[in-house]
Structure 1
Amino acid sequence: MARHLFGLSPADVTVSQSGTSLVLEPGATGTAWDARTGGTQLTDLTDLLGNPTTTVTSDTYSVIGFYGPDGVTTLYMDFGFAGGRVLMQATDLGSSITSLSADVAGLQAGKLDTTGGTLTGDLTLSGATTDLTVGGTTTLSGVTTFGSRLISPSTYNVGMLAPSRTTPSWRPASISHIFQSGHGWTASGAASSNLNNTAAFVRGTQCASITTDTAGGSANLKKFAMSAMDLTDKMIRVICRVDNMANLSSLNFFVGTSSLANNFKWRLNPITATSQIGSNNEWITITFGWASLNAASGSYSISSAGVPSTKTGFTDLEIQAIGTAGNAVTLDVNAVEIVDGTTTTFPNGVISIVFDDGADSIYNYARPAMDTYGYRGTNYVIVGNLGAGSYMTTVQNRSLQDHSGWEIGLHSYSGTVHNNRYTSYAAADVDDDIRWGKEWLVGNGFRGESIAWPGGEYQATTDGVGIDKIAERYFSTGRTILFQSGYATETFSPGMPMRMRAVSSISETQTGANKPANMIATGGLLDKCQLNGGWLILVFHKITTGTATVSTECSQSDFQSIMAAISSRGIPVLPISDVMRNFN
C-alpha cells in the first residue's frame, strides 16, 4: 500500500476562534489520531518532502500538508484549539476512484450473469470455497485448477462419473457370531488372548483377539458342540483384521464335528509378489465357499472332482492364525457368519473371462473363440496405449462392446502410471489417472463399471490413501490378481467388491492350478466352480499362436481348450459387471 496526501486545499488551514471571527494560526503544531476522541496517535507521518515526522506544523500561510501512514485515508487532527480534533480526508483519492471505476467497469463487462455465458482461458478456484454448483450445460476450456483437492469419498462429488451402484452390497446372515459378551467362543494354542476386546471393533461393541507365539504355532478361536448346521448352498463370511500382515503365515478356517476330529479346511490369505488380502490393522471382509475348499480330515473327504463328502451336520467352527518364524501375529475377529452362497444365484457357478492391458491378440484370437460359445468378456484397457504397437484400437474395443456384448473397463489411463503402479504415486495423481480413465470411458460410449489394479497393487498411495477408496468413487468393482493354488477364490456376492480375487498368469509355463491342463482336468478349478458353485475370474493378457514362453502368455490352443471345457460343464460366462447385476 502507499501513503496518501492530506491537506494543501483551501480548507486545510489552522485557525482559532476570536469572538465571532476565525484567526489564522501559522506555525501551529498538531498531532494525528485514528479516532475523534480517545484512540491511538498516528506517528508514522512524513512531511511533503518525505521526511519522517510525528507531528504536523502549518506553514507561514497556516496551510497544512503531509503524508499519512500507509493505506490510511481518514484521520483526526488535534492542534489544541477549542472544539477538539477535526476530521481530515486524504486529498489524493481522485485518481484511485478513477482507477477503481475502470476496474469495476472491466469486471462488469467480463462477468457471467445468471442467464449464462462463456468463460475461456484458465480458471483457478482456491481458498475456503469447497462447493461449486453449476446448473445446465457446463463447458470448461483451458485449464481448470482447484486450490485444494478433495480426497475424502464422503465429500467428493463426481457427478456423472460415479458408478451406477446397481450392485449387491451385502447378504443377510442366517447364522451370525459377532463376539459380543457371552459369545461362548474360546481360545487355544494362543500365546495370549482377549475374548472380550472392547478396544477394537466394527460390529457391536467388542471383538475377540488371539495372538500367536513366535515359534510358528497356531492360535485358534473356536466354538464347538453347537446345533448342527446345514451349509448346502451357503458360504462363510469373516470380518477380521491382522496387526502385521507380513508376520501372518497362514489364516485358516475349519468346519466339522467331534471337536474337529472330522473337518474341512479353507486357506484364506493368498499372498502374491505385489499384494495381499489386507493391510496392517485394517478390517477386512473375507467370503469363501465350497468351490475353494482346501483339505479334509477324519471321516470327511473331497472327491477327485473336488466335491466334499458332506455339506451338512456341522457343529464346530474355528478360525486359526499362524505366524511366520520368529514373529507373533495378532488376529482380531468381529464376525463369523453363514450367508447364502453363489449357487443361490448361479447353480453351476459362474465364470468371468477378463483381459488386462488390451493387447490386439485379444481381438484377433480370444474374441473369435469366445464368440463361438456366445461368451462375453471384460477387457481392461490402458488408455494411453490404445492403437499403439500391438494394442487394440478404440474402434476394436467399441466392436467388442457393441457387437459381442463385452464390458470395457479400466486398467489405467497412463501407460507410464500402469508400469510404475499406483502405489508409487500420491493420492492426487492416482485420482487424476483413474478419473481421466473414467472420463475417457464415458466420453467414448463405454459402460464399464470395473477397474483392474495395475500389477494387482491396490493398497495405499505414497501419502497413505487407500487406492481402492479413491477408485470406488468411479467404479463399482476392483479386480486383483490375488491367487495361490489351494487358496480361496471369489464368491458371489464378493466380500470386498473393490478387491475381487482372480486367477492370473494362466499359462502353460505355470505348474499349479493356473496351468491350463490342470485347470480343465478332473478336480481342477473348472470342476470346483461348477460342482460347488463359485465365481471363477480368469485373467489373461496375451494370446499367442505359438507356445507360451512367459506367464503373461496363453497359447491359442490352450485358450480354445479352456473355452470348450467351460462349455462342456454348462458354466455361465458373464462380464464382471453383469455378474454383479444378477443379485437376488
Structure 2
Amino acid sequence: MDVESYLVRPATAPRFTNPQRAMLATFQPGHGFTQSSASNFNYDDTTDYVLGSQSAYIVTNGAGATATLSKSGAVSGLNMTGKVFAILVKVTNSAHLSRLTMVAGSSGFAKNLQIQVQASITGANSEITPEGRWSWVTLPWYPSYSAGAPNRANITDLRIVAVDDNTGQLVKVQVQAIVAQAERPAAFPNGVVSIGLDDCWGSQHTYATAYMDKFGYAPTVHAIVDLVGQPDRLTLDHLHRIEEYSGGEVAGHAWTADSHNAGFDALSPETLDEELRLTKQWLARIFHRTAVGALGAGFAVPAG
C-alpha cells in the first residue's frame, strides 16, 4: 500500500471545543448545600476533589430511600433559556444506582423540574457515570417530571438526588460542580449526529460509506487492528480511502479481537497498557500524515 499516493484531504470540518461553562456551584467552603436521607455524607471532603480544595458527597442507605444534596437559593434568578445543566460527579458502586437526578426549581423547590442523569437499574450505569471516576455529564433539557410550573428563565434552587436499588448496597455520589452551558454549540446550531463504524466489517465500505459519500457524510471508523484485511473486513486501502477522500477518521477500537471481546475492564493493567500502546503506534505509523504535519518535517515515521 502506497500511503504517499493519498495526498488530497477534504476541508477540515467544524470540531467541538470545550463548552463555555458558567459555574453555579463547585462545593468549596461555605457552599451552603445540605443533605437529607443519606446514610453518610461530607459537605467538605478535602481528600478527593478535582476543582478547588474540596468536594461534597452523599451515600445512600441501601434501602432505596432518597438521598439528596440541595440548596434553596443556590443561584439568583438563573435564566436557563437556551442553556442546559452539566454536573461533575463520581459514583462508587454504580451497579446498584437506581436513579440519579438533577432537580432545578424555585420557591424553595415548590416549583421544580427533574432531569434524569440515570434512571434505570437495567441500563449500563457505568457508561453514563463511569465507576469510581470523576466525569462530566451533560443533561439535555428533557425534564421527566415537573411540579408547580417552574420558569426556566428564573431558576434559583438546585438539588442532586440519588437512589440505590434497595438491595442493601450503599452507593456513594460525590459532586464537584454544577454548571450551566449553551444548549447547542455555535459550530452546530441545529445539533449534530456522529456516525461511528465499529469492528471493520467489510459492509461498512460496500454499503455504508458508499452511500454516505453521496451526501458528504463522513464516519469515524473504530478499527480492531488484527482484523484489518481479514475476510469480510475492511482492508487498509479502504481505511485510507475513508480518511483521505471521504473526510472520515480512523480511530483505535482495539489491538486484538480477543481483547475487544473480553472487554478492557477484564484485562490486566499490563495487557491493557500494551493494547493501547500498540494501537497508538499503529495509528501513528499507518495514518501518520496529520502527525507528520503537526510534528514537523524532521519527524521520522517507521516503515511498514
Q: TM-score, normalised by structure 2?
A: 0.78
- Give the aligned partner of residue 376 of structure 1: 218
Displacement of 1:362 in angstroms is 0.9
- Give the aligned partner of residue 136 of structure 2: 285
- Give the aligned partner of residue 53 of structure 2: 205
Paired residues, number: 272
User: What do residues 151-188 of structure 1 show as CA deviations (whole Å, max 9, x unaligned)?
Assistant: xxxxxxxxxxxxxxxx8775453233112222121222
Q: Is the 8 A contact 1:233 1:343 kept in 2?
A: no
Matches within 5 A, 1:566-581: none
Aligned counterparts of 1:412 and 1:172: Cα–Cα separation in 2 = 32
Q: Is the 8 A contact 1:407 1:447 kept in 2?
A: no
- Give the aligned partner of residue 115 of structure 1: none
- Structure 1 alignment gaps of length 5 or more: 1-166, 302-309, 450-584
The verdict on how the C-alpha distance between 1:323 and 1:279 changes in structure 2, with shifts beyond 3 A counting, is same
Matches within 5 A, 1:449-468: none
- Give the aligned partner of residue 258 of structure 1: 107
Aligned counterparts of 1:192 and 1:436: Cα–Cα separation in 2 = 44
Displacement of 1:321 in angstroms is 0.7
Q: TM-score, normalised by structure 1?
A: 0.43
Q: Is the 8 A contact 1:441 1:448 kept in 2?
A: no
User: What do residues 398-446 of structure 1 show as CA deviations (whole Å, max 9, x unaligned)?
Assistant: 1112221111111112222222222333233222222222222232235
Displacement of 1:392 in angstroms is 1.2
Aligned counterparts of 2:49 and 2:277: Cα–Cα separation in 1 = 33
- Give the aligned partner of residue 264 of structure 2: 422
Matches within 5 A, 1:183-582: 183-225=31-73, 226-269=75-118, 271-272=123-124, 277-280=129-132, 282-290=133-141, 293-300=142-149, 311-325=152-166, 326-445=168-287
User: What do residues 319-360 of structure 1 show as CA deviations (whole Å, max 9, x unaligned)?
Assistant: 111112123323222221223343333211111111100111
The verdict on how the C-alpha distance between 1:442 and 1:168 changes in structure 2, with shifts beyond 3 A counting, is same
Aligned counterparts of 1:273 and 1:255: Cα–Cα separation in 2 = 22
Displacement of 1:239 in angstroms is 2.1
Aligned counterparts of 1:340 and 1:296: Cα–Cα separation in 2 = 22
Aligned counterparts of 2:126 and 2:196: Cα–Cα separation in 1 = 19
Where 2:275 maps in the other structure, the secondary structure is helix
- Give the aligned partner of residue 21 of structure 2: 173
Q: Is the 8 A contact 2:81 2:153 kept in 1?
A: yes
Aligned counterparts of 2:209 and 2:92: Cα–Cα separation in 1 = 44
The verdict on how the C-alpha distance between 1:448 and 1:367 changes in structure 2, with shifts beyond 3 A counting, is farther
Aligned counterparts of 1:388 and 1:274: Cα–Cα separation in 2 = 32
Displacement of 1:230 in angstroms is 1.3
User: Identity percentage over the alignment?
Assistant: 29
Which of structures 1 and 2 has the bigger CA Rg? 1
Where 2:56 maps in the other structure, the secondary structure is strand
Where 1:350 maps in the other structure, the secondary structure is coil
Aligned counterparts of 1:173 and 1:393: Cα–Cα separation in 2 = 42
Letter in 2 for 1:263: N
Where 2:195 maps in the other structure, the secondary structure is strand
Where 1:314 maps in the other structure, the secondary structure is coil
Displacement of 1:202 in angstroms is 2.7
Displacement of 1:275 in angstroms is 5.1
Q: Is the 8 A contact 1:358 1:391 kept in 2?
A: yes
Structure with more contact order per residue of length (Cα contacts < 8 Å, sep ≥ 6): 2
Q: Is the 8 A contact 2:95 2:125 kept in 1?
A: no
Q: Is the 8 A contact 1:233 1:344 kept in 2?
A: no
Mean alpha-carbon deviation: is it higher for 199-208 or for 271-280?
271-280
- Structure 2 alignment gaps of length 5 or more: 1-14, 292-304
User: What do residues 355-384 of structure 1 show as CA deviations (whole Å, max 9, x unaligned)?
Assistant: 100111111111132122211111111121
Aligned counterparts of 2:125 and 2:99: Cα–Cα separation in 1 = 16
User: What do residues 248-301 of structure 1 show as CA deviations (whole Å, max 9, x unaligned)?
Assistant: 221111112233333332222474298562223x333322232xx241312549
Aligned counterparts of 2:56 and 2:146: Cα–Cα separation in 1 = 27
